[in-house]
Each structure stands twice: as structure tokens, then as C-alpha cells.
Amino acid sequence: MKSYKNLYLKIYDLKNLILAYKKARKGKTKKHYVIEFEKDLAYNLKILHDELKNQTYKPKPLKKFILRDPKTRKISKSDFRDRIVHHALIRIIEPLFDKIFIYDSCANRIGKGNLFATNRFYCFMRKVSRNGKLNGWFNNNQIKGYCFKADIKHYFQEIDQEILLKIIKRKIKCKKTLYLITRIIKNFDNKTKGMPLGNLTSQFFANVYLNELDQFVKHNLNIKFYIRYVDDFVILHPSKLQLIEWKQKVNRFLNEALRVELHSEKSKIVSLSRGIDLVGFRNFYHFKILRKRNIKNMFSKVTEYKESIVSKESLLDSFQGWSAYAKWANTFRLRKEISKKIIKKTVPKTLSLKNVISLE
């Protein structure tokens, strides 16, 4: 594996910090902390530059809050200046690690994402179904095959920080860069386990950590039809018995090499004919539908607007983002129904439904 030295100069370079600042502020220009930072932008960036250069930079304590959507999650929010540092770091080291990631690691990567993951899933499902028929696993009239749908229990809370740092050190030999990475990782309540939900660095390091699983699955087990999205992953095969064997080997590897484990209730082998939950969709052979939780969330936001809990702008932003995602499933009638519920109160009468949202 190729390793890299002398990265630190690139991280604290003022041009890199400016680009990192622009990424950190994207979509948040009206936030008070961004406005405050920009009151003396040049000075604040120069201070950050000097702290990094002199290795006196110290992350501020994380701000914690509970998010219910409806799943309850504890989010840890970094200070804005720390988020600039996160972007500056990731801008330099992400391309180095991305080269070793497998093609079907789909989360938080340029050119990938949830729609990429679903497209790959359908590609694999067709191949598994066809291979099963050719090998006599089931009758020609059946759409079958199986999927090992897996979830890692309390993944972000259970990541072993020392194992993570050892993995990173195999790739990065720059001592100052490693010192900065260690400060970021250790800026957490637990100094031995876990990473904060909500940090850009946590999303990236989550991929670095589970790249070990990806390599084991692809090169040790020689599994063809495998997709991972953060800590959720699927393996497809015509044979249920083969998936049972792989499940045991995967769980043993996670326990022994990474000190995490499969979620016993959420990690199951399911027939493809029943539909597979993946990145917010329930995926069947000929169609996909949105998961009920996603639909419920959107209806809840409409209700919150009608009760004056959220603003018109917030609702429209949520609706347009949700709709852009939902249109990839069979949701034309659903999106039209939700549009009608909010259109009278949110837009002028002169605007048509098509102006609010692009429907199929």
C-alpha cells in the first residue's frame, strides 16, 4: 500500500483553508455563527492558519443535541472554525484513501450516493436471479434469490479509536497530519471508543474503518454482489445456505478485527421476492417504494408548518429536497397528494403545481 508524507503543509495552506471555509459555509450563510466568523474573515482564517502551522490548534468542545426523525440520535456538533479544519483535512487526505476504496462503497464519495447504491442493487438482483435460474436454484417462473441485509450495532459509538488510527497510519506517515487527526478523533466524550455523529470527519473515517470489511469481503471471501452504504451493507446470492456461511464469517471478522458486531435484529437473510430495505427505499424486482418512515417524516413537516412550528421557506426546502429523492420510487400520486396539501398556503395562486415541483 502506498503511503504519504509531508501532507501537513497542504492542509494549513491558506488557499486550502479558504476553499475549506467556502465548503463549511455552504447552505449555512444565514447562520449566526457564520455571520460572526465573517465579520473579520481574513483575520479569523489567518489565526486558524497560524494555529495549525504552529500545532497550537485545539478543537472546541462539541455541542450536543438530540435529533428525532423519528429515530432518536445524539448529534455532536463541532464549532464552525473546527468544521473548516475538518474540510481542510479531508480535502487533502480523502483522494489518497479513495483510491483504495472498493467500487461499491457508496456513501460520502464523489460520484456515488444512495441512488448509485440502489442502481447497483438492481443490477446485482438481476444477475443473481438469472444465475439462480441457470444453475437450477429455482423455477424459471420465480423471481427469487436471497439477500443478507446487515447493519452494524451502534456503529459510530463502538468504533475502536486505536484500531482506526492504526489503519490510518498504514496510509499516512506524516507525523503532524497524524497528530491533527488524533486531536480530532479524541475530541469526544469517550477517549477510546466512538466518533461523533454529525462531523464530516466521522463520515469519512467511517468509510476508512469499514474499508477493512470491504477488502475482506471482496478478496478473502471473493463475494461478487456486495454493496455498503456507511454501516449498512447487503450481499446477494442465489443460495441461502451460502449467505448463512458468509454471515458467520463476516460477523467473526467484525468481532475480531474491528471490535464491532452485527445487529442481531436488523441483520437477516431475506428472500428478494419480499423486497429489500436499502437507503430509504424498499426495493422489489420490478419497482421500488419509499419506506413508510420517509413518508411519515414529510407529512409531519407539513403538519408542523400548518401549526406554525416551521416557516414556509423551511417547508419548501424540505419538500423540494424530499421530492427530488422520492421521485426515484413509484411515488407520483404520493407527491401530488402532498403538493396539494401545502400549495394553497405556501405559494401564490398564479404558480402551477409544476412550478413548485417537477413531477414525472
User: What pLDDT sits at residue 114?
Assistant: 85
Task: For 19-72, write each residue's pLDDT tens digit.
Answer: 999 999 998 988 999 999 999 999 999 999 999 999 999 999 998 887 766 567
SS (H, E, C) 252-297: HHHHHHHCCCECCCCCEEEEHHHCEEECCEEECCCCEEECHHHHHH
User: What pLDDT sits at residue 354?
Assistant: 45
Q: Where are the alpha helices (DSSP H) in the chain?
A: 8-12, 14-25, 32-38, 41-53, 80-98, 114-134, 155-158, 161-171, 175-185, 200-215, 240-253, 292-306, 312-326, 332-346, 353-356
> What is the distance between the alpha carbons of residues 201 and 76, in angstroms, rounded to a whole number?
12
Q: What pTM was estimated for this model as a whole?
A: 0.83
DSSP code of residue 4: B
pLDDT beneath 70: ranges in the chain = 1-4, 68-71, 131-143, 343-360
CA angle 325, 276, 152 (to 5 degrees): 90
Q: What cell was used for 97?
A: 484513501
Q: What cell was used for 238?
A: 442465489
> What is the distance between the alpha carbons of residues 152 and 254, in angstroms, rounded to a whole number?
9
User: What pLDDT sits at residue 327?
Assistant: 79
Residue 310: which residues within 8 A CB-CB, separation 6 or more?
Answer: 301, 304, 318
> What is the distance between the alpha carbons of residues 105 and 227, in angstroms, rounded to a whole number?
6
> What is the distance between the alpha carbons of residues 42 and 39, in angstroms, rounded to a whole number?
9
User: What pLDDT sits at residue 356?
Assistant: 39
User: What pLDDT sits at residue 307?
Assistant: 75
User: What pLDDT sits at residue 36?
Assistant: 95
> What is the distance between the alpha carbons of residues 240 and 224, in angstroms, rounded to a whole number?
15
CA angle 240, 246, 250 (to 5 degrees): 145
